[in-house]
Amino acid sequence: MGDIRRILVTGASGQIGSELTPRLRELYGKENVIASDLRKPVSDDGPFEMLDVTDAKQLDEIVVDHEIDSIVHLAALLSASGEQRPNVAWHVNIDGLYNVLEVARNRKLRRVFNPSSIAVFGPETPREKTPQETVTKPRTIYGITKVTGELLGNYYYQKWGVDVRGIRFPGVISNVSPPGGGTTDYAVEIFYEAIKNRRYTCFLKPDSILPMIYMPDCLRSIVELLEADLSRLKHHTDFNLRALSFSPIQLVAEIKRHIPDLVVEYKPDYRQAIADSWPMSLNDSAAREEWEWRPTFDLQTMVKDMLGVLSERHRSGKL
């Protein structure tokens, strides 16, 4: 790998963190990836520190003690839980990021990865093949924190040379740790319910198309951007990414090819308005040109893989 030696992962027990941490340990060495979170990780396979990212002193101590040179900052509230607790979302997502950027500046860290989201877009944004440069006027507090994060990351890069990078992630589909409080969570929940109960009540309308990504592609995108050649990057904190795009009814049809007796009801709730304000698909030409991003999973291969993994776990009584 390149110049990264010791990484701190915040939010390591969350949906992305619980799979990214082991992957980073494979690549950079077990002892060189320090997991941190408010909660203990599911698997205990390397160094871990309890960390509240809103505590700047504690964060600084961990960075110094472990000789950290890069931070993958995943601790955040998502869109739906953000709407339930806007002040907590602001505090964790903004003050937490500010602390990460400040420690990166003061301790001269090599890299910060701060994920952004499709939630930076809003009703005025073109919803199909959303361009890289476009209107970012989100209506959710989560989206507002993510736009702020993109801008703040670029500011730290331009003003102090802190190498901050980020991707506007779509909904992430995974089978290790569940997502918590996102608008795209239906696309994960449905797999668990389909296997366990053959029934699912979807909180979005059947035709709500949203962009998504399968975890193996998500993990690879993070590693590829972390390791990308800085001199080739014209963008830094706000890469659009394209992988999958589908509606609940399209996902249901694909799952039913494997589980024909699945029954799905639709009861849209407050999350529908959030989904309606987000893109259906993204133009990711900047990511493709600047660090050669290419997705590998399509709807069929993602569904087959998800059902394979979860069915096996169900059979062995671990679901």
State the residues that interact with ligand SER by CB under 6 A. 78-79, 117-119, 142, 169, 171, 182-184
Q: In whole angstroms, how close is the CB of 261 to ligand SER at the nearest point?
A: 29
> Looking at beta carbons only, is 99 or 184 nearer to ligand SER?
184
Give the residue with the Cβ less far from ligand SER, 119 or 215.
119
Strands 116-117 and 244-246: what pairing?
unpaired
Buried b / exposed e over 29-61, threshold 16 CB at 10 Å, is eeebbbbbbeeebeeeebebbebebbeeebbee
Query: Nearest distance from residue 155's CB to ligand SER, in Å?
Result: 22
76 vs 194 by CB, closer to ligand SER: 76
Among residues 94, 205, 196, 72, which one has the least CA distance to residue 151?
Answer: 94
DSSP calls for 78-101: -HHHHHH-HHHHHIIIIIHHHHHH
Nearer to ligand SER, 103 or 144 (CB): 144
Among 28, 142, 156, 186, which one carries the catalytic annotation? 142
**Which is nearer to ligand SER, 100 or 119 (by Cβ)?**
119
- Min dist CB 150 to ligand SER, Å, is 13
Give Cα 185 distance to the centre of its chain: 12
Gap between the Cα atoms of 49 and 1, Å rounded: 25
Shortest distance, position 274 Cβ to ligand SER, whole Å: 7
Is the separation of the CB atoms in 290 and 233 below 8 Å? yes
For the question of residue 142 being annotated catalytic, the response is yes
DSSP 50: E
CA angle 224, 227, 165 (to 5 degrees): 85
Report the nearest approach of ligand SER to the CB of residue 140 (Å): 8
- What are the residue numbers of the active site? 142
